[in-house]
Structure 1
């Protein structure tokens, strides 16, 4: 089981879009996926039409929490979720700053999933730090806008701190250029800057701006279900292939067999 945190403290960076649609693309390839929605806005929970029945991922910050009782089904094939709610907003006020509680609960639980994907809030606070301590890899969506790059540098400082103090095994899976508009020179300049600064850590897959992708949450469907032949669906399938190659070391010629 590989735990991947999707994080970027900059809002509007396609973070939840990456979580939902990457999970759906991996599920389409018959991997079993668990999303843990750690964002108080609960956008991933809504997008996947999850019945929460009072369940919230805030319970994962309690000692010895039984995780299996928190898991609910979603509208996407092979994708389950631990939903979020507004309870997460008050989390830091009600618990001690234990940055390893989430990791401890995930470590002591037998989960029958290939990937666990953590959707984090757009801050570098208590919840995001717990996610970085708990995960094996971090995938960073970056909108092709200059302000997004500033947020990435701040995130990297926090990642370095977590690596030294809490999680020496944490590594960068990659940076994903998202909401890329081929019509603007600015987007291309920011993409080039991203590559200049982070080199081969920038994923080859680019997530293009796409109206179908913007519409999908309203219908509570992943882009693969809502518009399976769209450019956005192709982008997220390509991203899933790239993630698989990086994590599982599957040869490109064998991806079609998965």
Structure 2
């Protein structure tokens, strides 16, 4: 089983949209997915509610074991809950140990892939997820505030890799909410590619059909509107990029 974390310390960058579409896409390929929502906002849990298992994300840290995850249509959701806030008081080493134990149990249960959505802040939840993961991918908005956070993001991932998890592979950044008609976005994308030539994945446009998909608990390629077709092409293109890198 591979474990992929979606992480960025900046909020509002398309992180949850990326997470749920990876879940939908890879489950449709026949992979058995454990989807873990570590964001107390619970947005991913809302969109993936049809795949609830009764297991809560705080259980991964606060209980010695969890009930067996029973997937629905290849997806087993470990949903966010208010008690997630309590894990931020745990020593990081304890959080890593607890989460690693549950991830191992999921692998032993026959899951092919564990996908983890994280909150937009560096705490025990994000750090422990990165500590047990094989891969991390980071959606980023092509605006100045998001750009200012890149250095912190690079530092965080590098520190985890150097000091805790040498097997962590940063697949790169997804330029999300991209508006190709916006000169600022085009310039910022060019700058990003120049600064991090091996870490910039395909961009995904700022399209209302993606928000509609999240609200209606379906992937954007299931939205029956012409405007959704381009969004579906972009989302699936970056999903394929990520898939190809994970199986190399």
Asked if structure 1 preserves the Cα contact closer than 8 Å seen for 2:136 and 2:171, the reply is yes
State yes or no: 1:215 paired with 2:203. no
RMSD: 2.0
Counterpart for residue 87 of structure 1: 83
Cα offset for 1:62?
3.1
- Mapped partners of 1:55, 1:3: distance in 2: 18
Scaled by the length of structure 2, the TM-score of the pair is: 0.90
Task: Sort the Cα spacing of 1:224 and 1:27 in 2 relative to 1 into closer, same or farther, 3 A.
Answer: farther
Q: Contact 2:53–2:76 at 8 Å: present in 1 too?
A: no
**Distance between the aligned counterparts of 1:145 and 1:34, measured in 2?**
32
Does the C-alpha gap of structure 1 residues 238 and 173 become closer, same or farther in structure 2, counting only changes over 3 Å? same
Out of 174, 177, 199, the residue aligned to residue 176 of structure 1 is 174
Counterpart among 164, 170, 176 of residue 166 in structure 1: 164
User: Cα distance, 1:25 vs. partner?
Assistant: 1.5
CA distance in 2, matches of 1:51, 1:32: 12
| SS in structure 2 at match of 1:216 | helix
Contact 1:180 1:208 in 2 (8 A): yes
How many angstroms does 1:227 deviate by?
Answer: 4.5
Runs of 4+ in 1 over 6 A off after TM superposition: none
Partner residue in 1 for 2:238:
239
2: CA distance, partners of 1:113 / 1:105: 12
The answer to whether residue 218 in structure 2 is matched with residue 226 in structure 1 is: no
1:96 aligns with 2:94: no
Distance 2:104 2:196 in 1: 31
TM-score by length of 1: 0.86
Q: Deviations over 1:33-86 (max 9, x none)?
A: 2211110111110012247586311111136423x53x3646xx4322111112
Shift of 1:224: 2.8
Is the partner of 2:77 in helix, strand or coil?
A: strand
| Structure 2 equivalent of residue 187 of structure 1 | 185
Long gaps (5+) in structure 2: none
Cα displacement (A) at 1:8: 0.3
Partners of 1:161 and 1:215 in 2: how far apart? 37
Aligned residues: 243
